[in-house]
């Protein structure tokens, strides 16, 4: 099968990293599913030699992945604080008020839009997952249950619903039809409006910090500023500011305007980050070719930890049931022979099982009951928050383990 770049449409031949066969990372299982056939797909990423977009093939449609979704944003206090800080910044920087229209794409359970609603600023969420959109609606957040692209943008524009601020947080990597999505952003943005896009798995962080577990089938694309600038320029959109944000293991937030909008001059941050990427050699293919060896090294060290723990008859459990944790465990071949269970604060995941490994997901109280020797933090991007919440494991000598960027044990 010939695979072509989802942005520039040239044939892809250069593999970035091959993580073997893996199930869909957010396809959590009920007990009745455990004895049924579970689909696995190749988890192989390519890098385009023309635009340097790192990407996966589309094995499963977004409709099947996202229509019923297990991720709810409101269960991390640090993430809610991040949302509040973002809203305050946007309101002050762009002078948003009761006459403004804010639209968020992939608005999840309304965790962010509620911050604008408190200020009586008109809001609208677009969320494809019906179960998540229902929660947002129950909170009084007006939400359209649709996938976003040019069709949705045209329908909203016809309703005079164009945006002064158009928000897309942790959604762009989930989009297989990249050109249609970006064209939709342009159609939905008012002439003087601003788009802010934020995404994790920023390429410098992904490579430097060995974040291969951020690669899973729901993430179709992985971006550098160099590449994403090319994409937006094609549609007459200009990146006028950018900042690195220390959430989700290192995210990138970009600020975008229509090319003809002179209200927002391009800041030095854009050039500075492009220069940083140049120093990192993000535009050179050799940078991408060395990543597989880094991944193998992390796998080897994680295996050494588990073998050592087993030899010492130590009990290991996990904290978190994130998609990235499922990539990590499935690629490394670590399942119930090493891990008794994982816990997650989200009640929407408790009682289910991790895809592939079939590790059961419990409530955090289970850790206090069973007193494990080690707690492996799969949600490593929230390690400070989790270690503070679970500090009581030190009462019985329990230790935390963080797997990325390398295995570290915290006493």
DSSP 237-279: EEEEEEEEE-STTSEEEEEEEETT--SSPPPHHHHHHHHHHHH
Q: Each residue of 261-302: pLDDT tens digit?
A: 999 999 999 999 999 999 999 999 999 999 999 999 999 999
69-106 burial: b if 16+ Cβ within 10 Å, else e:
bbbbbbbbeebbebbeebbeebbeebebeeebbbbbbb
Q: What is the mean pLDDT of residues 349-359?
A: 97
Q: Would you say residue 306 has pLDDT above 70? A: yes
Q: Would you say residue 210 has pLDDT above 90? A: yes
Query: What are the sequence ranges of the domains in the chain?
Result: 65-279, 291-410
Q: CA triplet 345, 80, 321: central angle to 5 degrees?
A: 30
Confidence at residue 342, expressed as pLDDT on a 0 to 100 scale: 98
Longest alpha-carbon distance in the chain: 66
Q: What is the mean pLDDT of residues 21-48?
A: 94
Q: Would you say residue 75 has pLDDT above 90? A: no
Residue 171 token pair: 């959604």
Q: Each residue of 176-198: pLDDT tens digit?
A: 999 999 999 999 999 999 999 99
CATH code assigned to 291-410: 3.40.50.720
**pLDDT more than 90, % of the chain:** 85
8 A C-beta contact, residue 54 and residue 79: no
Cβ of 9: how many Cβ atoms within 10 Å? 11
Q: Would you say residue 313 has pLDDT above 80? A: yes
- Name the pLDDT band for 65 (thresholds 50, 70, 90): low
Q: What is the mean pLDDT of residues 52-75?
A: 66
Q: Each residue of 87-100: pLDDT tens digit?
A: 999 999 999 999 99
Residue 363 token pair: 């409530």
Confidence at residue 2, expressed as pLDDT on a 0 to 100 scale: 55
Q: Would you say residue 76 has pLDDT above 70? A: no
Peptide bond into 269 cis (omega under 30): no
Rounded Cα distance between 395 and 398, Å, is 7
Same topology, domains 65-279 and 291-410? Answer is yes
Question: Which is the CATH superfamily of the domain at 65-279?
Answer: Vaccinia Virus protein VP39 (3.40.50.150)
Q: Would you say residue 66 has pLDDT above 70? A: no
pTM of the model: 0.91
């Amino acid at each position: 099968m010939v695979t072509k770049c989802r942005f520039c449409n040239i044939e892809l031949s250069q593999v970035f990293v091959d993580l073997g066969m893996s199930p869909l990372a957010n396809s959590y299982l009920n007990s009745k599913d455990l004895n049924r056939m579970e689909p696995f797909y190749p988890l192989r990423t390519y890098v385009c030699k023309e635009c340097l977009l790192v990407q996966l093939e589309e094995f499963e449609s977004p409709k099947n992945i996202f229509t019923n979704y297990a991720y709810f944003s409101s269960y991390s206090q640090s993430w809610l604080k991040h949302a509040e800080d973002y809203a305050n910044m946007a309101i002050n920087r762009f002078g948003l008020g009761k006459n403004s229209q804010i639209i968020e794409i992939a608005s999840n359970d309304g965790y962010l839009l509620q911050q604008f609603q408190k200020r009586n600023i008109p809001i609208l969420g677009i969320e494809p997952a019906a179960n998540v959109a229902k929660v947002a609606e129950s909170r009084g957040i007006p939400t359209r249950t649709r996938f976003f692209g040019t069709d949705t943008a045209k329908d909203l524009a016809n309703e005079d619903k164009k945006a002064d601020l158009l928000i897309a947080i942790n959604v762009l990597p989930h989009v297989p039809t990249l050109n249609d999505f970006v064209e939709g952003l342009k159609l939905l943005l008012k002439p003087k409006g601003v788009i802010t896009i934020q995404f994790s798995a920023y390429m410098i962080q992904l490579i430097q910090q060995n974040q291969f577990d951020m690669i899973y089938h729901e993430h179709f694309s992985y971006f550098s500023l160099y590449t994403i600038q090319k994409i937006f320029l094609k549609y007459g959109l200009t990146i006028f500011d950018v900042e690195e944000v220390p959430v989700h293991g290192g995210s990138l937030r970009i600020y975008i305007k229509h090319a003809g909008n002179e209200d927002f001059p391009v800041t030095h941050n854009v050039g500075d980050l492009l220069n940083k990427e140049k120093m990192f050699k993000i535009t050179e293919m050799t940078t991408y070719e060395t990543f597989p060896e880094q991944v193998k090294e992390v796998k080897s060290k994680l295996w050494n930890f588990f073998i050592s723990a087993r030899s010492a008859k130590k009990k290991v459990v996990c904290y978190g049931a994130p998609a990235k944790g499922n990539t990590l465990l499935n690629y490394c071949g670590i399942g119930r022979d090493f891990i008794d269970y994982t816990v997650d604060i989200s009640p929407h995941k408790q009682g289910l099982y991790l895809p592939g490994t079939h590790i059961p997901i419990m409530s955090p109280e289970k850790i206090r009951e069973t007193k494990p020797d080690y707690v492996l933090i799969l949600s490593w991007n929230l390690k400070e928050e989790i270690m503070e919440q679970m500090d009581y494991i030190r009462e019985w000598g329990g230790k935390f383990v963080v797997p990325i960027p390398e295995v570290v044990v915290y006493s």
